Amino acid sequence: MMNILVPIGTSSNANETLQYAVDFAAAFGAEIYVIEVFNATGKAGTLTNVTQKIAENAKERLKEIIAKVETKDVSIKIASFNGELKDGLKEIDKELGIDLIILAPRSNDIQEEYYLGQTSGTIIKRTNIPTLIVPKGTTYKAFKNVLVAFKSGILKRKRILDPLIEIKNKHNAIVNLLMVKTPGYSDDDLKINTALMDISSQLTFTENPTTYHGVLEHFQSKHPDLLCVFRRKRGFFKKLWEKSTISKSEFYAPVPVLVLSVKKD
């Protein structure tokens, strides 16, 4: 895990998320890239100046946020992008190769009832990069108990699990699998990837309307300090395929959530 991307939104707590990312990066020997995406428009003759000014302001703001963080000798580099967020993520990933995105669940411009806001929701929806969603106020500590929840055990690429395997090996974590049979499941869904089975200590089967309902049922008994789910086209964050926000009534986790993608790159 070499390169970690931390998108900086409008939240006044952005430095807390960055501090978590720095602590995480220090443990894994990774570098951090902070990015702020803006969208400058104007007349052709003035657009260059406008873009440059906004980029300079964004850079200064990022420097102010970094100054509030104990860097622990972790390399923190600044990037900005003029355009749409999804394009910026693709561009920086293409240039640098991002191994993990670390972000907070919600920006402060979204009502409190939302777990994922417009920015964080768009990132989860639009990118295939593994993402770690860190609740506000969370300080980094070793993950000792990981719950992996899914409704289909089919994983077409072993490297999907790379971030989870790195976390397990680094922290000597126990990985418990929760297979949730949802309405309309097929026999193929019950075929669990061998690489996933190899890193697990326990497999539990449950039947629920959704994967999230299965997590709710078993969360207290498993006591995870990390929840891992898969980003499928119609998967755990299904609601995000209709909209970019998701309310806390639809999903909420008091612990960090690792989202791994099984979508095509």
Asked if residue 121 and residue 169 are part of one domain, the reply reads no
User: Quick check: is 128 in a domain?
Assistant: yes
Cα distance between residue 227 and residue 256, in whole Å: 6
| Pair (90, 175) in one structural domain | no
What is the per-residue pLDDT for 36? Answer: 74
Within-domain flag for 28: yes
3 state SS of 242: coil
- Average pLDDT in the chain: 80
Q: With bands split at pLDDT 50, 70 and 90, how would you rate the model's confidence at 118?
A: low
Give the full edge-to-edge strand order of the sheet including 31-38: 76-82, 31-38, 3-7, 100-103, 131-133, 257-261, 226-231, 145-150, 174-181, 202-207
160 lies in the same domain as 244: yes
Residue 234 has pLDDT above 60, yes or no: no
Same domain, 204 and 124: no
Which residue range is the domain that position 168 belongs to? 145-260
Is 138 part of any domain? no
- Tell me, yes or no, whether 173 and 88 share the same domain: no
Residue 159 within any structural domain of the chain: yes
Enter the tokens of residue 247.
């309310």
Query: Band of the pLDDT at 62, cuts 50, 70, 90?
Result: confident
d(CA 16, CA 236): 27
CATH code for the domain in which residue 49 is found: 3.40.50.620
Question: In this structure, are 114 and 8 located in the same domain?
Answer: yes
Q: Examine the domain organization and report whether 48 and 162 are in the same domain.
A: no
Distance CA(262)–CA(65), nearest Å, equals 33
Q: Do the beta carbons of residue 65 and residue 22 sit within 8 Å?
A: no
Distance of CA 6 to the CA centre of its chain: 10
> Which of 58-72, 73-87, 112-126 is predicted with the least confidence, judged by mean pLDDT?
112-126
Tell me: pLDDT of 31 over 80. Answer: yes
Residue 246 shares a structural domain with residue 153: yes
Quote the CA–CA distance of 48 and 36 in Å, as a whole number. 18
Alpha-carbon 174 to chain mean position: 21
| Tally of domains in the chain | 2
In a domain, 140, yes or no: no
At residue 109, the pLDDT reads: 40
Q: Tokens 């090996």 belong to which residue? A: 169
Evaluate whether residue 99 is within a structural domain.
yes
Domain boundary among 133, 161, 189: 133
Quote the crossing angle between the two packed helices 14-28 and 162-171, to the nearest 10°. 70
Of 133, 160, 180, which residue is a domain's last?
133
SS3 at position 177 = strand
Residues 127-162: tens digit of each pLDDT: 788 999 998 889 999 999 999 999 888 887 778 999
Name the band, by pLDDT with cuts 50, 70 and 90, for residue 252.
low
Pairing between β-strand 226-231 and β-strand 145-150 as defined by DSSP bridges: parallel
- Alpha helix (H) ranges present in the chain? 14-28, 44-67, 85-96, 118-126, 162-171, 194-198, 211-222
Q: Are both 120 and 225 inside the same structural domain?
A: no
CB 47 within 8 A of CB 41: yes
Question: pLDDT value at position 117?
Answer: 59
Q: Are both 122 and 172 inside the same structural domain? A: no
Confidence of residue 108 (pLDDT cuts 50, 70, 90): very low
Statement to judge: residues 252 and 172 lie in one domain: yes
Tell whether 165 and 128 lie within a shared domain: no
Q: Which of 167 and 81 is assigned the larger pLDDT? A: 167
Quick check: 119 pLDDT over 80? no
* 265: in domain: no
